[in-house]
Amino acid sequence: MNNLSQMRIQKPAHEIFEAFVDPEKIGKFWFSSSSERWEAGKTVTLKYEEYDAQGEIRILEIQEHQKIIFLWAGNHKVTITIVQEEKGSTVVKVKEEGFDETNENVISQLLDNKEGWVYMLTCLKGYMEYGVDLRAALVK
């Protein structure tokens, strides 16, 4: 069981890749901070100050400008695929795997997860295309 979300962004793939891996940029569209540049094998601490939350991710694989795979949240595997298109746009795909179908709360877990990824991707689009900050506005 997995959750897949995909967004088209009018920017080249290498700029979008940098937005994820560069700790100076993540605070413009997702977490408030990232402890260091994302590289394969690293464990990175992500903080979300507005929600008083933090967690670690373990980066399994990086393909420059194309793919990022990491583990978080109880060994859920997240694959971010960055696909450059012909006319200068890019499709960003986020797939999260590892949901336990037998858990009685799996539907609400999937919905929360979907909410988070779609929100992040739309914030990323706003930041990349217009430089605007739409973060920290989901109300739970």
SS3 29: coil
| Cα→Cα distances 29→14, 64, 74, 103, 108, Å | 17, 20, 24, 31, 24
Strands (E), 12-52: 33-34, 43-48
Residue 130 makes contact with a second copy by CB under 8 A:
yes
The residue among 28 and 38 lying less far from a second copy, judged by its C-beta, is: 28
Residues 95/83, Cβ–Cβ less than 8 Å: no
Asked if 118 touches a second copy (CB under 8 A), the answer is yes
Nearest to a second copy of 59, 134 (CB atom): 134
DSSP annotation string for 52-80:
TEEEEEEEEEEETTTEEEEEETTTEEEEE
132 binds a second copy (CB under 8 A): yes
Sole binder of a second copy in the list 73, 81, 91, 95 (CB under 8 A): 91
Among 9, 16, 19, 46, binds a second copy (CB under 8 A): 9
The site for a second copy (CB under 8 A) is made up of: 3, 5-9, 91, 93, 107, 110-111, 114-115, 118-119, 122-123, 125-126, 129-130, 132, 134, 137-140
